[in-house]
């Protein structure tokens, strides 16, 4: 009785141990060992190519994130803001920059629609600034939208 399907010849008859060769049945029944490609196919090649493609994609994605991010060199932090009236809001914020900078502060209403905006010039170094923004209707929030050093090409 055959022990496994590899013990059978192509026509279904039982294969003798002598015809299998010395490799214990790993030869395909004809005495010669099967080639690596026939046993495993092209899977290792596709696996390696997939790893290389994933590595290239990861490096490219990281480079894009670093290149297109907001690297202005000006750090800012909101200290406080208040809604003074239906047409005015105030914000106090701190900046830290290597040179003079311009910050854009804006006020938005409850639906996040911009209702006022103002540019504020700040000196180099760590500076605390207070700005009053005129609004077209009552604001719900005030924030520093962006800060850029003057003279940068970005």
pLDDT in tens, 89-111: 999 999 998 889 999 999 999 99
Kind and range of the H or E run holding 37: helix 36-40
**CATH number at 75-149:** 2.60.40.3230
Give the separation between CA 102 and CA 8, rounded to whole angstroms: 84
Assess whether pLDDT exceeds 80 at residue 68: no
Assess whether pLDDT exceeds 50 at residue 147: yes
Q: Which pLDDT score is estimated for 93? A: 95
Give backbone dihedrals phi and psi of 42, rounded to 5 degrees, phi first.
Answer: -100, 15
Instruction: Map residue 138 onto helix, strand or coil.
Output: coil
Report which of residues 65 and 90 the model is more confident about.
90
Give the separation between CA 1 and CA 8, rounded to whole angstroms: 10
This prediction has a pTM of: 0.53
Report which of residues 102 and 153 the model is more confident about.
102
One DSSP character per residue, 52-107 reads HHHHHHHHHHHHHHHHHS---S-EEEEEEEEEEETTEEEEEEEEEESS-EEEEEEE
Q: Which pLDDT score is estimated for 154? A: 47
Domain boundaries, the chain: 5-68, 75-149
């Amino acid at each position: 009785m055959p022990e496994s399907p590899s013990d059978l010849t192509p026509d279904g008859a039982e294969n003798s141990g002598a015809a299998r060769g010395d490799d214990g049945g790993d030869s395909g029944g004809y005495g010669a060992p099967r080639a690596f490609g026939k046993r495993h196919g092209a899977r290792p090649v596709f696996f390696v190519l997939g790893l290389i493609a994933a590595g290239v994609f990861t490096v490219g994605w990281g480079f894009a994130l670093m290149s297109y991010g907001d690297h202005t060199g000006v750090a800012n932090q909101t200290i406080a803001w208040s809604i003074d009236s239906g047409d005015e809001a105030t914000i106090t914020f701190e900046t830290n920059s290597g040179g003079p900078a311009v910050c854009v502060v804006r006020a938005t209403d409850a639906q996040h629609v911009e209702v006022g905006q103002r540019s504020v010039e700040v000196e180099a170094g760590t500076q605390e600034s207070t700005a009053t923004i005129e609004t077209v209707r009552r604001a719900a929030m005030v924030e520093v939208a962006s800060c850029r050093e003057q003279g940068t090409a970005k």
